Amino acid sequence: MSGFLFHDVIFGPVRSRRLGLSLGINLLPLHSKYCSFNCIYCECGWTPENMNIVPELPSRELVSQYLEYRLKELIEEDHIPDALTYAGNGEPTMHPDFAGIVDDTLTLRDKYMPGVKVAILSNASMIHEPAVFNALEKLDNNIQKLDVGFERLFLRFNNPVLPVKFNDLILDLQKFNGKVIIQSMFLRGSYNGKVIDNSTDTEVREWLQHLAVIRPSMVMIYPISRATPVHNLEKIGIFELEKIAERVRKLGIEAKVYS
C-alpha cells in the first residue's frame, strides 16, 4: 500500500495548516494504515482489505513514556509546540486504550506544557462508543470529520470499511453540544466511473443543514494538499472554498479555509 505514513509513535513537531506547530501522537501501526474509513483522498493511501486482523499498536504505557521523553526534550530545546495532536496512520480512536491515553496525555501536558492545546484529527466513526465520546469531550480541540451532505456520497467519498451509518454519525455529532470542530475536505473528480463532487450546491446545502443542527464551534474547510490514492481528483481553489465558508458563517458558525 502506497501513501504517506508516520514511522514513529511521537513525531514532529510539524507545521500543521490547521493547528500551527503540532507534536503528533500516532496511536496506529508504524508501517501500515489502520482505519475505519477508506477515503479516496487519504494521504496514507488505501486501508488494508482485511480489517479483522488487528495490527500491533503501541501500548498505553509506551505512548506515555515516549511522549514524556519528547516533551522534556522540547523544553530543553525551548521549542514548545502549539498543540499535541492525535493523528498518524489512520483513525486514532480505534486504539482500545484511547480513553486512558487521553488521560495520560492531559496529565503530562499539565505537568510539562500547561496551556498547550491537546487536539485530535478524527473521522467520527467511533464517537458512538461512550468511552471514546467522553475522552473526546476532554480535549481542547475535538476535530471530527464531516465531508458530505448525503449518505450516497459518503459511501463513495469516505468509503467506510467498518459499519458506520451516516445518519447515526450526524446524531452522535450533535451530542457534543457544540464542543466539536468539524473538518471538511472539498474536491471533485471521479472514481470507479462515478462522479465525485461534494462542492455542488445540492451537496453543500445538505451539508449546511447538518451543520445547523450540530452547531460546531468552528468548521475547518480545506482542499487536497498531498498525493491521493485516486489520481484523477481535482483540488478546489481558495476562492470557491471561501464562498462555501461564507455560507457557513451565515449560520452563525465560525469557518476558516486552509489552503
- What pLDDT is stored for residue 207 in this prediction? 98
Domain hosting 213: range is 10-257
Residue 6 scores a pLDDT above 80: no
What CA–CA distance (Å, rounded) separates 32 from 3?
Answer: 9
Residue 4 scores a pLDDT above 90: no
Q: What is the pLDDT of residues 181-209, one digit of tens each?
A: 999 999 999 988 888 999 999 999 999 99
Backbone φ and ψ of 145, nearest 5°? -85, 135
DSSP helix/strand/coil, 85: strand
Q: What integer is the mean pLDDT of 120-124?
A: 97
Residue 2 scores a pLDDT above 50: no
Q: Is residue 2 part of a domain?
A: no
Q: Is residue 4 part of a domain?
A: no
Q: Is residue 236 part of a domain?
A: yes
The cell for 51 is 480489517
Q: Is residue 1 part of a domain?
A: no
Q: What is the pLDDT of residues 30-83, one digit of tens each?
A: 878 899 999 999 988 788 776 667 788 999 999 999 999 999 999 999 999 999
Give the CATH number of the domain where residue 92 resides. Answer: 3.20.20.70
Q: What is the pLDDT of residues 136-188, one digit of tens each?
A: 999 999 999 999 999 999 999 999 998 899 999 999 999 999 999 999 999 99
- What pLDDT is stored for residue 1 in this prediction? 40
Domain count, the chain: 1
Question: Which runs of E-coded beta strand occur in 53-212?
Answer: 83-87, 117-122, 141-145, 181-185, 187-191, 194-197
Q: What is the pLDDT of residues 90-115, one digit of tens each?
A: 999 999 999 999 999 999 999 999 99
Q: Is residue 100 part of a domain?
A: yes
Q: Which residues are registered as beta bridge partners of 181?
A: 143, 218
Q: Is residue 3 part of a domain?
A: no
Is residue 245 within 8 A of residue 219, CB to CB? The reply is: yes
